[in-house]
Amino acid sequence: MRKANKLVAIVLGVGAIASSISPASAVPYKGSNVYKVVKEGVTSIYISSTANSRVQVDLGSVERSTARIVGACGEVRISVPNSGSFTGLKVDGASISADSLPSQVMPSCVNGTFSEPRPDNFRTPNGQVVIVNKTPGAAVAIALPNEATRNLSVNACGFAILRATTSTALPDSFSISGTDYTTASLQDAGDAPICRTSGGESTVYVPGSWTN
């Protein structure tokens, strides 16, 4: 019991207001069910919804970055994406126009040298994009936009959080249940709500600044 009281005291000490909520409750900010919190330049998007439910967020076309190790002949092979399109492809930040690349077979690599010269980037007959003249064994960044969705779990207090990941930045715009949102235009709550569960009861701690 003392531990619970200490937690409340700590949270209230930073200007929060504690309130118990029922499982069907949600945590909107000044009437907005979707809002953001920006702290130290990092944006998180909060989605108020029915507690313990799930929310699907349609992110649209999102640039995803992956690392690829360069082959022994300085080549990087990029397979055809599920979308079938290389539109927006970037390698180490440089844009690659896949449609303009010549079609050539992939030569064998012998002792760090192609059996046939390949001085420029090309595409193989099966559609792969091959980037050349990279440093063998080095890592390169491959970025390619993809249609993406995120399925978020709503916590017991009634809100879910959409954050950037190591491979996917927050989108400029997104939609939830057919409603479109723009990240830049979302209300900034300043401080985030906090959800704590103890003894089967969930309590949301709402920042004191929300009541101003």
Query: Tell me: the pLDDT tens digits for 104-163?
Result: 999 999 999 999 999 999 999 999 999 999 999 999 999 988 778 899 999 999 999 999
Query: Tell me: the pLDDT tens digits for 46-59?
Result: 999 999 999 999 98
For 7, phi then psi, to 5°, come to -60, -45
> Please, what is the average pLDDT of the chain?
86
For 122, phi then psi, to 5°, come to -155, 175
Sign of the alpha-carbon dihedral angle for 109, 111, 112, 114: negative
Strands 90-91 and 194-198: unpaired
User: For residues 66 and 71, what is the distance between their CA atoms, to the nearest angstrom?
Assistant: 16
Residue 20 has pLDDT above 60, yes or no: no
Half-sphere exposure of 33 (CA within 13 A, CB side): 15
Question: Using alpha carbons only, how large is the chain's radius of gyration in Å?
Answer: 24
